[in-house]
């Protein structure tokens, strides 16, 4: 590749300008495959999505510019507000519960005791398996007639009349439970890494000063984990806003659209009703959410250094 | 409760000061052990349920009350799954899709990351910021135009159509750039003085040093694509061109009650990722813990 420039490199006096030019050219060569793919399959579709959201395009009829009609229709559409509300509800429950549970598990599994490695692996395992596949097992566990979990829960008095996934009052709780289960181990691992970077002497000193367990948690653990907490919270929010897999498998957004989120609505409008323009408009609402959160995340990732 | 946040990296200083709390300490330890093993088992319930059900005969599966432990063992579902679903085809598709994306993406990601981390050049800052911006873009936004484009090219319902858009990844480039930046400069400076080309430095020096990061990112890519549901669901309208998660969920939509078959298929579908994970668990978890981004 660089054979043409190789002889020049052996010449004793190199001119800095030519070195810079050569370097820049090599760098761009290295970047070419990745940049071409990103431009063709991410950047261009992104621009295309803006355009589509301003048209009435569906797979059959050619795109016609309709201005902001899609957005106007969106804000007047009950289905959109339903999906929006469901997404906010899902995020508002799943994100905080997952983060708090992850922190609790991390603190628990940071102690030394037999069985710790097993528990860590077991809690982390759901994160690496396919949510689309394991959701089938979850749907089965919650089957009103032959599901083990719905049978066990009936002993505690939780018996949805129409079965977990078909009862409008319980279906959302079921997909939320699966969402929490899926990611709690991932956030736990981030918290564990944070816990292990806290110097042990701080706890020793606090104990000598007579601080109790709760006080040590409040004034050492929590403040020194603030970076991880922020990171995990943002990650959890972004993930919950994009919930799709277990909902598609377990309820298809039902019953009566009670579990339809923004992404399942995009899927339904885009790939079942083939309303590409309208679905693109919905996806920009999602983009706005995720982008703002990502900016927050990036902003603090840059100043990630913890100072003790 | 368990808020005594004593970090796991135990005390370097030998502290044997309070022998009178030893008994209480040991009891607490066992309580912790039992609690967390129970939590672990409860977490594994769907996977254990899947495992046991896959070996239960249909009569056992539909009997009430349901039991976790199989009354009788059978391999019938594992035989049936290959006949009722084009399972071999789904499996092959998933291997080609996830494997192809992983290998190609590792190459292109690392090349781009090498340029960004190791070669000072004009425009570097802009490219890096651009990649960070793409990193924040939710995949669902480009889904429809991307499908439309690939459909126009006749690439829907094909494996190349699924693979090509994922041949590189902003997260992968970012992840490897950060790793390459952390490598010491002296090795490659020596090679550069000896007249080695950038390609040789990249392939011969940096890539071998980056093996742990490549392994972690490789597993990220592999499990992400192996597990992905939305993309294969959108890209393939037939089971034959789909991957395991999409194919199994489509089958479930059509034959709701055949849980034995579905559990056997699910178990086989999840096995490779679980095995890979257990093999390189340590570096994978370390990678996640330090850059929890994906």
Provide block-wise average pLDDT over 10 residues at a time, chain B (294 residues): 37 47 78 92 95 90 85 89 90 96 97 94 91 88 93 94 95 92 85 87 92 89 94 90 92 78 94 87 70 46
> What residues does each domain of chain A span?
6-52, 83-302
Share of chain A above pLDDT 90, in %: 51
Of residues A303 and B218, the one with the higher pLDDT is B218
Question: Of the candidates B211, B202, B179, which has an alpha carbon nearest to the alpha carbon of residue B293?
Answer: B179
Does residue A260 surpass a pLDDT of 90? yes
In angstroms, the separation between the Cα of residue B246 and the nearest Cα of chain A is 7
Q: What is the pLDDT of residue B288?
A: 67
Residues contacting residue B259 through CB under 8 Å, at least 6 positions apart: A140, A143, A146, B53, B61
Angle at A181 between CA A175 and CA A183, to 5 degrees: 110
Burial environment of residue A87 by CB neighbours within 10 A (0 to 12, 13 to 18, 19 or more): buried
CB contact under 8 A, B249 and A295: no
Q: What is the dihedral of CA A202, A208, A210, A212, to 10 degrees?
A: 50
Does residue A303 surpass a pLDDT of 70? no
Tell me the pLDDT tens digit for each residue of A44-75. 999 999 999 999 888 777 888 988 989 999 99
Decide: A217 and A138 in contact? Cβ < 8 Å.
no
Structure token digits, residue B6? 């004593």
Does residue A291 surpass a pLDDT of 90? no
Instruction: Look up tokens 């970077």; give the residue.
Output: A197
Closest residue in A to B135 (Cα–Cα): A294
Chain A contact set for B140 (CB, 8 A) = 242, 263, 266, 283, 286
- Calpha distance A64→A55 (Å, rounded): 5
- How far is CA A246 from its chain centroid? 13
CB contact under 8 A, B270 and A129: yes
Q: What is the pLDDT of residue B9?
A: 40
CB contact under 8 A, A30 and B111: yes
Decide: A188 and A123 in contact? Cβ < 8 Å.
yes
Note whether B254 contacts A: Cβ–Cβ < 8 A.
no
Residues contacting residue B175 through CB under 8 Å, at least 6 positions apart: B109, B113, B213, B217, B220, B291, B293
Chain A contact set for B175 (CB, 8 A) = none
CB contact under 8 A, B36 and A119: yes
Note whether B3 contacts A: Cβ–Cβ < 8 A.
yes
φ, ψ at A66 (rounded to 5°):
-125, 15
CB contact under 8 A, B8 and A131: no
Integer CA distances (angstroms), A182 to A57, A117, A246, in order: 36, 19, 10
Largest Cα span, chain B: 76
Burial environment of residue A70 by CB neighbours within 10 A (0 to 12, 13 to 18, 19 or more): buried
- Calpha distance B65→B76 (Å, rounded): 22
Integer CA distances (angstroms), A140 to A45, A53, A134, A150, A250, in order: 38, 39, 10, 9, 9
Structure token digits, residue A220? 């050492």
User: Rounded mean pLDDT of A172-177?
Assistant: 95
CB contact under 8 A, A294 and B136: yes
Kindly indicate the confidence band of residue A6, based on its pLDDT and cuts at 50, 70 and 90.
Answer: very low
Chain B contact set for A216 (CB, 8 A) = 3-5
Of residues A230 and A181, the one with the higher pLDDT is A181
Residues contacting residue B241 through CB under 8 Å, at least 6 positions apart: B93, B157, B158, B159, B235
Question: Of the candidates B227, B228, B233, which has an alpha carbon nearest to the alpha carbon of residue B274?
Answer: B227
Q: Which of B8, B15, B140 sits opposite A283 (nearest CB)?
A: B140
Q: What is the pLDDT of residue B3?
A: 34
Chain A contact set for B203 (CB, 8 A) = none
Q: What is the pLDDT of residue B176?
A: 93
Chain A contact set for B164 (CB, 8 A) = 37, 41
Kindly indicate the confidence band of residue A300, based on its pLDDT and cuts at 50, 70 and 90.
Answer: low
- Calpha distance B117→B202 (Å, rounded): 11
- Calpha distance B114→B119 (Å, rounded): 7
CB contact under 8 A, A48 and B148: yes
- Hey, CA dihedral for A201, A202, A207, A209, is it positive or negative? positive
Q: What is the pLDDT of residue A183?
A: 95
User: Rounded mean pLDDT of A86-92?
Assistant: 94
Which A residues, 99 through 158, put their C-beta within 8 Å of a C-beta on chain B?
104-105, 107-116, 118-119, 121-126, 128-141, 143, 145-149, 151
CB contact under 8 A, A132 and B227: yes
Tell me the pLDDT tens digit for each residue of A215-252. 989 888 988 888 888 889 888 998 999 999 999 999 98
Residues contacting residue A153 through CB under 8 Å, at least 6 positions apart: A159
Residues contacting residue A122 through CB under 8 Å, at least 6 positions apart: B39, B40, B41, B43, B44
Closest residue in A to B220 (Cα–Cα): A128
Q: What is the pLDDT of residue B292?
A: 46
Does residue A23 surpass a pLDDT of 60? yes
Interface test with B, best of A12, A130, A184 (most B CBs within 10 A): A130
Chain A contact set for B168 (CB, 8 A) = 33-34, 37-38
Burial environment of residue B186 by CB neighbours within 10 A (0 to 12, 13 to 18, 19 or more): exposed
Architecture of domain A83-302: Orthogonal Bundle (1.10)
CB contact under 8 A, A137 and B165: no
Q: What is the pLDDT of residue B11?
A: 39
Structure token digits, residue A66? 């309709």
Which B residues, 197 through 216, put their C-beta within 8 Å of a C-beta on chain A?
197-199, 202
Query: Within 10 A of A101 (CB to CB), how many other CB atoms are there?
Result: 19
Question: Of the candidates A141, A92, A97, A87, which has an alpha carbon nearest to the alpha carbon of residue A259?
Answer: A87
Structure token digits, residue B124? 């570097």
Closest residue in A to B170 (Cα–Cα): A38
Spell out the domains of chain B, with CATH numbers in brackets. 81-290 (1.10.3720.10)
Does residue A41 surpass a pLDDT of 70? yes
Kindly indicate the confidence band of residue A168, based on its pLDDT and cuts at 50, 70 and 90.
Answer: confident
């Amino acid at each position: 590749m660089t054979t043409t420039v190789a002889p020049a490199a052996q010449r004793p006096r190199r001119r800095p300008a030519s070195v810079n030019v050569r370097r820049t050219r090599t760098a761009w060569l290295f970047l070419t495959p990745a940049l071409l793919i990103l431009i063709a399959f991410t950047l261009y579709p992104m621009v295309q999505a803006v355009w589509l959201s301003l048209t009435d395009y569906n797979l059959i009829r050619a795109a016609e510019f309709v201005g902001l009609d899609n957005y106007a229709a969106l804000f007047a559409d009950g289905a959109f507000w339903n999906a929006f509300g469901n997404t906010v509800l899902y995020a508002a429950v799943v994100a905080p519960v997952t983060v708090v549970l992850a922190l609790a598990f991390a603190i628990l599994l940071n102690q030394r005791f037999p069985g710790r490695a097993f528990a860590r692996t077991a809690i982390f395992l759901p994160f690496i398996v396919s949510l689309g596949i394991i959701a089938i097992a979850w749907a089965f566990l919650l089957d009103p007639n032959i599901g083990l979990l719905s049978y066990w829960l009936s002993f505690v008095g939780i018996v949805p009349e129409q079965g977990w996934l078909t009862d409008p009052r319980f279906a959302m709780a079921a997909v939320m439970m699966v969402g929490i289960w899926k990611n709690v181990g991932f956030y736990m691992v981030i918290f564990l890494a944070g816990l292990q970077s806290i110097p042990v002497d701080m706890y020793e000193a606090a104990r000598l000063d007579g601080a109790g367990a709760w006080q040590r948690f409040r004034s050492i653990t929590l403040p020194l984990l603030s970076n991880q907490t922020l990171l995990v919270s943002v990650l959890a929010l972004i993930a919950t806003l994009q919930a799709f897999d277990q909902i598609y498998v377990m309820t298809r957004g039902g019953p009566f659209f009670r579990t339809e989120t923004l992404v399942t609505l995009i899927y339904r409008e885009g790939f079942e009703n083939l309303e590409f323009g309208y679905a693109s408009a919905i996806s920009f609402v999602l983009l706005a959410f995720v982008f703002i959160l990502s900016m927050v995340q990036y902003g603090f990732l840059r100043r990630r250094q913890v100072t003790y | 409760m368990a808020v005594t946040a004593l970090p796991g990296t135990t005390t370097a200083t030998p502290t044997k000061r309070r022998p009178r709390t030893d008994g209480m300490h040991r009891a607490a330890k066992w309580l912790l052990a039992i609690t967390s093993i129970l939590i672990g088992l409860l977490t594994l319930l769907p996977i254990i349920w899947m495992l046991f059900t896959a070996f239960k005969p249909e009569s056992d599966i539909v009997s009430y009350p349901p039991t976790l432990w199989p009354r009788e063992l059978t391999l019938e579902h594992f035989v049936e799954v290959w006949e009722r679903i084009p399972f071999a085809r789904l499996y092959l598709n998933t291997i080609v899709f996830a494997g192809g994306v992983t290998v190609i993406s590792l190459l292109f990601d690392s090349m781009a990351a090498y340029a960004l981390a190791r070669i000072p050049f004009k425009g570097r800052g802009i490219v890096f910021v651009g990649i960070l911006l793409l990193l924040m873009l939710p995949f669902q936004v480009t889904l429809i135009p991307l499908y439309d484009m690939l459909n126009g090219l006749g690439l829907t319902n094909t494996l190349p159509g699924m693979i090509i858009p994922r041949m590189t990844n902003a997260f992968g480039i970012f992840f490897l750039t950060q790793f390459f930046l952390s490598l010491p400069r002296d090795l490659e400076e020596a090679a550069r003085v000896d007249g080695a080309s950038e390609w040789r430095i990249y392939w011969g020096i940096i890539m071998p040093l980056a093996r742990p990061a490549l392994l972690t990112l490789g597993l990220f890519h592999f499990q992400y694509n192996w597990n992905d549901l939305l993309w294969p669901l959108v890209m393939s309208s037939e089971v034959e061109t789909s991957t395991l998660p999409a194919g199994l969920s489509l089958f479930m939509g059509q034959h709701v009650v055949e849980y034995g078959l579905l559990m056997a298929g699910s178990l086989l579908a999840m096995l490779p990722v679980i095995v890979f994970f257990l093999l390189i668990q340590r570096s994978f978890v370390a990678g996640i813990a330090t850059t929890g981004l994906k």
